[in-house]
Every structure is written in C-alpha cells, then in structure tokens.
Structure 1
Amino acid sequence: MKNSTVLLFLMFLMLTSGGFAQKSNGQAFAAKGKDVFPPFKDRYLGQKPPGLVPQLFAPGMVSTKKHVESLYTFTPDMKEFYFNRVGGKYKKTTLFVMQYKNNQWSKASNLSTDIKKYRGRFKPGSSKIKNLAPFKDLPIIGFTVSSKGTYYVYFLKRDGSGHLSCSRLVNGKYEKPEKMDKHINSGKWIAHPFVAPDESYLMWDAEKNGANTPDIYISFRRKDGSWGPAISLGDKVNTAAYEQRPRVTPDGKYLFFWRGDKKARKDGSTYWVGNPYWVDFIQLRKELLKNSH
C-alpha cells in the first residue's frame, strides 16, 4: 500500500477511531420479531437496490464526483444514515446525517460542529474499550463486535504489518485478545473487520498475493467453531482499485464497501476519488458459501 493510502486511512480514522462501530447489528431487532426498519421501498434512501454487480450508492445524494465520501453507516434501526465528505469546498472531513421522519428522508445535514453528540449513538467507542481490561493500553486501531459481545480488533503499523485479534466475553469479563489464525492474518494492511451479529462470518480488507491495493475477504465460521479460509469477494467487488471497509446493512440484506483510487494531474500532483458502493449480500453470500467447501 502506498504512503498516500496511509494518509487516506488516517483521514478516515480522524472521525471514527472505532467510535462509529455499532455495538450490535439491526438483525438483532429482526430476531425479536419487531419490524423496526423503514418500509423496504424507503429503507435505503429510496434507492433502487443492486444485484450481484456493485452499484454506486445514492449518486448525487451521497456519492459525488467532486468529493470523497468514505464513512457510511446506518443506525441499527436504519432510520438514520451517516456519511462523511472531504474535497472541494470541504477542506476538512465533514460528517453528514440523513434522518427518516414522517415517511421520508431528510436532506443531508452537516454535523461537523457536533460530532461528539452523534458519536454517542454508536457506542462503545474505542476510547471506552481501551479503558477496559484487557484492552487497556493496547494500540487498537479499530474493531467490530458481535451481538454476544465478542470483539474483533485490529492492530496496524505504518509499514503495513499488523493483525486481527479476538476477545470473548466470558462470565462478564473479557479474555485477553488472541491473535487469529493464518486464515485471517495473511498479507499486509489487514484492517476494517466486520463480523456478523451471530459470528457466522467475518469480513475485512487486506493486500494479499503481492497486490498493491486492498481487496475484501470473508471467512465463514465452521461447525467446530474455527474459521474457514479467506475467500475473495470476487472480481465484481474486488478490482484494481482500492476496495475497503465492508459493512452489512442492519437488516442483513446489502453489503456496503468503499471503492476508490489515486489519480494524477498533468502537473504531477495527485488526488483521491472514491465513494461507497453496495451489492446484494444475500445473493453474494450464497455464491461465496459455495466456494467455501
């Protein structure tokens, strides 16, 4: 991964630092038999859902050509959607929110002056985790957490080395983070994990097999509790560009991820382009499961 990619990565962390990781996925609501989500036709900002070919998410509304949008997340009830934007008139990373009220989505509102207030909706943040044993003083970059409280955290250095570890909640206490096996921890720039609420799968991005841009991988949980091999999400998702930050919608239906690239101007200077994409995760998961056996 090029040094400029590290800068993009750090730019993303300025706002998030794990603070926007959701404690539980909205599928937990569905498991209780409660329809808390907006109607399907409205649920994704009124956008037409994609199939197995990833599509740019909400072009002109969220994804733009003038800016880089890198953070994107629904609240667990899918009645708020957050994203950030930088570039053009936004010299600093700026957070936006859209809210579903009175059967319609509001226009995007700028939250750059009130970020701390909205971070509270995505607790626990990394600062809180780092104050808990056995996470205290560990150089955790980010994390994902399952419905039963298992944390999957990642550690990453500027040279691209790092790894994913997990820590289970046992009898009200967290175990010491244990480094995951080679199925997960292979390649460089291993980052941005996302675990299913029931821990049936784990996704992350990394550079493998000599690649110089990251791709997204998935591992399925085996019957014996171990993790299966890392499976690439395929050439429809993973391209020569940068694919990072997988995240499944709270209803479990769609996979969101970031796709971007570094461009060069005539004067030799460089700039970034990139936006969130989405793809039908139910169909994709079926295809990937076939490849896991």
Structure 2
Amino acid sequence: MKNIKTFGIFILLAFLISSCQESEKSNLTLLSDEIPTDIPLVFGEGIVSMDEAMDFAITFSPEMDEMYFTRRKPGGTNNILTSKLVDGSWTTPQLAFFSSNGTWEFEPHINPTGDRLYFGSTRPINDTLKSPGLIQWYSERKNSRWSEPLPLEKPSAATYMMYLTSSAKGNLYFTSQEEGAKPENGGIYYAMAEAGGYSDVQKMGNEINNGKMIAHSYIAPDESYMIFDGERPSGFGDSDLYISFKRNGSWTEAYNLGSKINTEQTEMAASVSPDGRYLFFHRGFEIQVEDDGSEWLGNIYWVDFRSVKESIKKSKNNN
C-alpha cells in the first residue's frame, strides 16, 4: 500500500510539473529550447541573437506574434529587423519595411495598445539631403498594416530623443541631454500626454538620473515601474540594469537588478514582454579592431521578470 501511495504522489508531481511547464509556454518560447527562470538565457540563439553581431532593443506586438529588434554588424550601421509568427513558426528576421539605406535606425518600440511603432533614425526629412540628427519616427497600425513612418514633431527635446517607450496612457519616456552636455551626463526625460498633444519635456529626478550614462528607460504600461541602465559606483560592470517603483505618485530610489542579471559586461536596453512574464535586455562587450577602433558584440537575453521583480520588492520592502 505504501508503494502505491508513493507512486501516486510521484505521478501527481509529474503531472503538476508538466502542467506548469505547459502554462509557461507562449509564442516567445517557440524560439528557445529552454524557458528561463531567474537565470538569463540567450533569446532566439542563431535566429534573433547572432554571433559576431550586436543584437539589442527588442519589442513585441501585444499579441506577441510580431517582433522588431536592432542589429549592428561590425563595420555596419544599426538596422531594425522584424519577424512574424506564421503558422506556428517565426519567420527568418529581415529588414523592417521602413528601412532606409545609409542611415542609422534602431531601438524600436511598439506601444501597449499596439497601434504605434516608434524608432530612432538619422534619416533626412522630406527627401532633404541633410540629416536632422537622431530623432524619433513613428508608424501607425491601420487595418492590420503599418503606415509609412513620419517624424515625431512633438514632444521635442533640446538635443536628441533616443529609446522612446510609451505607457498605456501615451506618456513618453526617452533618453536625451541638455545642450552642451557631455554624453555621459545625459539622462531620462518624459512628456505627458494631454489633450491635443504633450506637456513640455521634463527631466526625471535624482532617483533615476543618478550616475553616468543613464539611458534606455522602459516604462511599465501602467507606469508602476521603470527599468533603465547606467553606471554607478555600486554596479557590477560597465553598465547595469536598475529598477525604480512608483509609490504614491513618487519614484523610489533605483535598485540594481542583481548579480544574476548584471555582470562585468554591459547590460542595457531593457524591455518587458506584453504579458509581463519576461524581461529582455542586451548583454555585450567591446572588442578592439584595426586602426585602433572598437566594435560592440552581444546578444539579447531574457529572464523570468516576475520572480526578479518580486524578489526586489520583497528585499526592499516595496510590497
């Protein structure tokens, strides 16, 4: 009888484990053999994340059946690639429909409602020959198709707008800097959506903009948290990922995401899957090339964001 009970418990545990694994499956897991826990894994190895390239800044449609991300090969420019889920499989990534030859285009973001795709570009405006510098462009989804991109005229930053992300309310958060400031002294800025447009651009407080190379903010759809990267004396490497929570209308101090995510390499350009399950980020390193130059290489990683977030909340008493 004892052996029968033990066998029955074993069968039950096996069923529960199998059920949990099935419940964790999604469109995103089709690209990887393993589903990540609290240890980051390379995402889409050999498909999205390639050797001898820098892959970063990934975004997904709300249905998680379409993705856009940035790739830069040594000696090349930043390009945005896209892949779609067709008949249960992801297509081979190819250049996005709006790609423009000879210009940098990178760091795409699909807003939470799925009807706007933002990206940074140095392309000229209105067929002029001169680039306006790094500005944001956007495409709107109409009748299941993306429109031709237009430059984002408002809000307008003093210098550039990089890595723009949007909340469900349409509030925009991005990287920029003041006129004359050094690149390492840039930071995170925002503009609130209001009737007929946006508020004036404002710089976030010292809770976020504390350290050097503060950049690449991802805002939660409900604006309950923000993830960004930067260099601080307490960090683990060149650039680490941090998270700040909004409590009673104010942002908490930013907490390092910890040694399981941050390493001696560079971690940056975070985003979270639309279902809130997975945190995506770039991990990479610099290599020296001919003529005393350098290039960046690295992959897109993913990790179970729910366990990471709850662990930080618990340890910092942010329940």
Question: TM bucket by the smaller chain?
Answer: 0.7 to 0.9
Look up the equivalent residue of 1:151 and give its one-letter code. L
Gap regions ≥5 residues in structure 2: 1-23, 120-135, 138-149
Aligned to 1:187: 211
Do the aligned partners of 1:85 and 1:93 also contact (CA within 8 Å) in 2?
yes
Q: Does 1:153 pair with 2:174?
A: yes
Kept after mapping to 1: 8 A contact 2:207/2:253? yes
1:254 & 1:193 partners in 2: Cα distance? 16
Letter in 1 for 2:156: K
User: Residues 102 and 258 (structure 1 numbering): CA distance in 2 closer, same or farther, change over 3 Å?
Assistant: same
Q: Does 1:138 align with 2:158?
A: yes
> For the pair shown, which has the larger CA radius of gyration, 1 or 2?
2
Paired amino acid for 1:138 = A
Distance apart, 1:98 and its partner CA: 1.8
Using a 3 Å threshold, how does the CA distance of structure 1 residues 60 and 190 change in structure 2: closer, same or farther? same
2:117 is aligned to: 123
Which moves more between the two structures, 244-253 or 178-187?
178-187
Q: Is the contact between residue 228 and residue 292 of structure 1 (CA under 8 Å) also seen in structure 2?
A: no
The percentage of aligned residue pairs carrying the same residue is: 31
Equivalent AA in structure 2 for residue 111 of structure 1: L
Cα displacement (A) at 1:252: 0.9
Deviations 1:98-149 (A, max 9, x none): 21112222223x2267426x989743552467522xx236323222211012
Q: Hey, what does 1:248 align to over in structure 2? A: 272
For 1:137 and 1:276, locate their aligned partners in 2 and report how far apart those are by CA, in whole Å. Answer: 29
SS of the aligned residue for 1:51 comes to coil
- Verify: 1:111 aligned to 2:95, yes or no: yes
1:84 aligns with 2:106: no
Are 1:145 and 1:195, in contact at CA under 8 Å, matched by a contact in 2?
Answer: yes
Per-residue deviation, 1:60: 1.6
The structure that is strand-richer by fraction is 2
* Aligned residue-pair number: 249
1:154 Cα deviation from its structure 2 partner = 2.3
- Which residue identity does 2:233 align to in structure 1? N
- For 1:272 and 1:147, the matched residues in 2 are separated by 33
Take 2:70 and 2:183, find their aligned partners in 1: how far apart are those partners?
Answer: 26
Unaligned runs of 5+ in 1: 1-38
Q: Write the distance in 1 (CA, Å) between the matches of 2:242 and 2:298.
A: 19
SS of the residue corresponding to residue 312 of structure 2 reads helix
CA distance 1:113–1:105, change in 2 (3 Å): closer
RMSD of aligned residue pairs (Cα, Å): 2.9
* Residue deviations 1:219-278 (CA, integer Å, cap 9, x gap): 0110x2100110000011111100000100111110000000113479976443211011
Whether 1:51 aligns to 2:37 is yes
In 2, distance between residues paired with 1:114 and 1:129? 12
TM-score, normalising length from structure 1?
Answer: 0.74
Report the secondary structure of 2:311's partner residue. helix
User: Distance between the aligned counterparts of 1:63 and 1:265, measured in 2?
Assistant: 21
C-alpha contact (below 8 Å) 1:255/1:281 kept by paired residues? yes
Which SS does the other structure have where 2:306 is aligned?
helix
The answer for the alignment partner of 1:213 in structure 2 is: 238
Whole-angstrom distance in 2 between the partners of 1:167 and 1:269: 37
* Equivalent position of 1:281 in the other structure: 305
Partner Cα distance (2:52, 2:307) in 1: 32
Deviations 1:53-90 (A, max 9, x none): 111112122222222222422223211122333336x8
Partner residue of 1:169? Answer: 193
Q: Structure 1 251/112 Cα, relative in aligned 2: closer, same or farther at 3 Å?
A: closer
1:168-215 deviation per Cα after TM superposition (whole angstroms, max 9, x unaligned):
224444222232221111001111100000001011111112767111
Range with bigger deviation, 175-184 or 47-56? 175-184
Please give the secondary structure, in 2, of the residue aligned with 1:261. Answer: strand
User: Are the counterparts in 1 of residues 57 and 281 from structure 2 also a CA contact under 8 Å?
Assistant: no
Structure 2: how far apart are the matches of 1:255 and 1:107? Answer: 22
Q: How far, CA to CA, are the matches of 1:210 and 1:287 in structure 2?
A: 19
Compared CA separation, residues 97 and 152, structure 1 to 2 (3 A): closer
